[in-house]
Chains A and B, each alone.
Chain A
Amino acid sequence: MAVSERSPAAAGNGESIALARSYREAFRRNAPGYLFLTPWLIGFFCLTLGPALGSLYLSLTDFDLLQAPNFVGFQNYIRMATADPKFISAIRVTFLYVILSVPLKLGFALAVAMMLNRGIKGLPVYRAVFYLPSLLGASVAIAVLWRQLFAADGMVNSMLAVFGIEGPSWISNPRYSLYTLVVLSVWQFGSPMIIFLAGLRQIPVDMYEAASLDGASARRQFWKITLPLLSPVIFFNCVIQTIEAFKAFTPAFIVSGGTGGPINSTLFYTLYLYQEAFGNFRMGYASALAWVLVIIIAIFTAFSFLSTRYWVHYDE
């Protein structure tokens, strides 16, 4: 387990003693970390890495699920780059979804969490009620529900009718259907909200007390205390929600019945990947799609990590 950080530079007499000492030193420094990491390392090498490399290999084959795969080199990647209009349209839909849903959802979650962090009556009830939609998760009932809300004669339009507005059938009109999925994502803001709440709870009260004594306004307290101390949690939510939004599958699958329609307007990247893999028997191509997605997400994540030095404050 012991891995030395620097190569031992000692030479000549007493080399072996110095070497042994430096190894012992390295062991002392590294052992606790690796000890705590052991369960994860086992899981990573035995359960996660194998299947991941497996899919990487499959992305270089023509695997059709039912027959043994044949190696085809980079053919899948070439097809993606040159001859697949659906790939381009899936990328477009997914980026739009990420750009719209992530900031809206996080903003909403943070606002509600701040509101619920006050000493108000009935707090646990509100918190639970606001979390309820997220409990519905991937339920097939969501599909029916969303139609009840956003179809031509749905609840949204009956409400608009009060103001004399005749709304379209939001959910089945290619111009608007993606936005109903954005609304769905924002509506299920429960998990980032809970994480924000836990983060807010970790901010020591005495900091606010001290600031109040100094006469700092609520707004100033928000900018000077809440935001900086919450920044690791905000950062976490940003990264996770962005990854999740890029990988979003269930909402589009359920609401569009797996079609990505009307006219590919809700064809999320992973939905397209799923169609290719299991509908059209092109698992090799789907695996290539997946790895391109990994690269896209990794670039985004790397940039967010690079940005942390400017706005995320750790107590170190």
Chain B
Amino acid sequence: MSNEARALPGQGSNHPYLRSGLLHCLLIAASFVMLYPILWMLAGSLRPAEDLFGGGASLVPSQVTIKAYSQGWFGMQVSFGHFFLNSLLIATLATLGNVLAASLAAYAFARLNFFGRKLWFALMLGTLMLPYHVTLIPQYVLFLKLGWINTWLPLVVPKYFAVDAFFIFLMVQFFRGIPRQLDEAAQMDGCSPWRIYYKIMLPLSLPVLATAGIFSFIWTWEDFFGPLIYVSDMSLYTVQLGLRSFIDSSGTSSWNELFAMSILSLIPIFLIFLFFQRLLIEGIATTGMKR
């Protein structure tokens, strides 16, 4: 908590209590707007299916039942716990890959001079622009030829080759904000680029590494299109695939089981978020860096 109590702009008010009281009121009101959907989903998971749609926007269920949780958890032949483990494993591996590979490339783009840097950078950004629907089939053919279909490899391996340009671009922007005098001084002392990368860049970039970690984990956790296309064996299913098997828009759907499992599926990523965000508040400002 002590990290939080920083002297920051806009604190020179004459009525600190009034101001912070007002701020909290505002924040709490905003929080309700933000939370409403989750509360509604929670309510939806607790009410009987036939109450779900005709009832309007009320939050309070007429009848409370937790049947949806047990039915949802054991609804398929493979229990939801198994899907959670799968998702956790995939997301962890993907996050590691993303942070590692993207930070390497970002360091090159942000700090090293080499021939064709601008061209590569433009190409990298270009990869962000193509909608995935049209690369889907060529990519499927590629992974099929590699023999990766019905495995997790298409979901994990590409991350170790930094295919998601978002993370590279993000880190480039932050690396460029780190004072250049630092690595110049280190270079004078004979430090290799590699040492500068992991002795100076990485420690000073904790906030952005944490940010990339959070996004990487959450987005992999939430991704359903990748697993949908590449995974078919139910024992390899991720949580998102499990969730989607409750809904069949052409026929019978189990909405309250979907809501129940959606609520549960939010818990791990919420915890991950809480855990990683502590790293967000450390960083250059609090690691004793002065210039």
Chain A residues at the B interface, C-beta cutoff of 8 Å? 3-5, 26, 29-30, 32-34, 36-37, 39-44, 46-48, 50-52, 54-55, 58-59, 65, 112, 115, 117-124, 126-133, 135-142, 144-145, 148-149, 153-155, 158, 187, 191, 194-195, 197-199, 201-206, 208-209, 212, 218, 221-222, 225-226, 229, 232-233, 235-236, 239-240, 243, 246-247, 249, 257, 270, 273-274, 277-278, 283, 286-287, 290-291, 293-294, 297-298, 301, 314-316
Report chain A residues within 8 Å CB of B57: 148-149, 153-155, 158
- Residue in A148, A199, A277 whose beta carbon sits within 8 Å of that of B174 in the complex: A199
Within 218-244 of B, Cβ neighbours of A (below 8 Å) are at 218-219, 222, 224, 243-244
Q: Which residue of A lies closest to B255 (CB)?
A: A144
Contact with A along B162-197 (1 / 0, CB 8 A): 110010111001101111100000000000111001
Q: Which of B10, B163, B281 touches A201 (beta carbons < 8 Å)?
A: B281
Cβ of B199 to closest chain A Cβ, rounded Å: 15
Chain B contact residues, CB within 8 Å of chain A: 4-12, 20, 23-24, 27, 30-31, 33-38, 40-41, 44, 52-53, 56-57, 101, 104-105, 107-109, 112-117, 120, 123-131, 133-135, 137-139, 141-142, 158, 160-163, 166, 168-170, 173-174, 176-180, 192-194, 197, 207-208, 210-211, 214-215, 218-219, 222, 224, 243-244, 247, 249, 255, 258-259, 262, 266, 269-270, 273-274, 277-278, 280-285, 289-291
Smallest distance from the beta carbon of B264 to chain A beta carbons, Å? 13
Q: Which residues of B contact A221 (CB under 8 A)?
A: 9
Asked if B116 and A198 sit within 8 Å, CB to CB, the answer is: no
Q: Among the listed B6, B10, B129, B179, which residue makes an inter-chain contact with A218, where contact means beta carbons less than 8 Å apart?
A: B10
CB distance B101 to A39 under 8 Å?
Answer: yes
B60 → A minimal CB distance (Å): 14
Q: Does B129 contact A36, Cβ atoms closer than 8 Å?
A: no
Report whether B4 and A123 are in contact in the complex, using a CB–CB cutoff of 8 Å: yes
Contact of B180 among A65, A119, A316 (CB under 8 A): A316
Complexed CA–CA distance, A191 and B113 (Å): 31
Do B130 and A290 touch across chains, with their CB atoms under 8 A apart?
A: yes
> Which of A39, A212, A270 has the most chain B CB atoms inside 10 A of its CB?
A39
Residues of B contacting A126 in the complex (Cβ-Cβ under 8 angstroms): 27, 31
Contact of B114 among A30, A195, A209 (CB under 8 A): A30
Q: Which residue, B109, B173, B208, has most C-beta atoms of chain A within 10 A?
A: B173
Partner of A277, one of B24, B120, B133: B133
Q: Is the CB of B105 within 8 A of A37?
A: yes
Residues of chain A with a CB closer than 8 A to B107's CB? 36
- The answer to whether B41 and A141 touch across the interface, beta carbons within 8 angstroms, is yes
Residues of chain B with a CB closer than 8 A to A42's CB: 161
Rounded to whole angstroms, the CA-CA distance of A65 and B56 in the bound complex is 42
Task: Check A51–B142 contact: CB distance below 8 A.
Answer: yes
Q: Give chain A residues whose Cβ lies under 8 Å from the Cβ of B277.
A: 124, 127-128, 194
CB <8 Å contact, B134 and A283: yes
Across-interface contacts of A198 in B (CB, < 8 A): 174, 207-208, 210-211, 280, 283
Give every chain B residue within 8 A of A136 (Cβ-Cβ): 37-38, 266
Complex alpha-carbon distance, A205 and B286, angstroms: 9
- CB contacts (< 8 Å) of A208 on chain B: these are 7-9
Partner of B284 from A121, A202, A236, A301 at Cβ < 8 Å: A202
B131 touches A290 (CB 8 A): yes
Q: With CB as the reference atom, state the residue of chain A lying closest to B284.
A: A202
Chain A residue numbers with a CB within 8 Å of B269 are 135
Given A4-B115, A51-B139, A141-B259: A133 and B34 interface contact (C-beta under 8 Å): yes
A54 to B134, CA, bound (A): 9
Evaluate whether A218 and B9 lie within 8 angstroms (CB atoms) in the complex, with A39-B101, A140-B258, A199-B174 already known.
yes
Which residues of chain B come closer than 8 Å to A274, judged between CB atoms? 133
Would you give the shortest CB distance from B228 to chain A, in whole angstroms?
Answer: 11
Q: How far is the CB of A187 from chain B (nearest CB, A)?
A: 8
CB pair B161–A43 under 8 Å, yes or no, is yes
Q: How far is the CB of A304 from chain B (nearest CB, A)?
A: 10
- Are A201 and B285 in contact (CB-based, < 8 A)? yes
Query: B193 touches which one: A36, A48, A239 (CB < 8 A)?
Result: A36
Residue with the greatest number of chain A CB neighbours at <10 A, chosen from B134, B141, B163, B180? B134
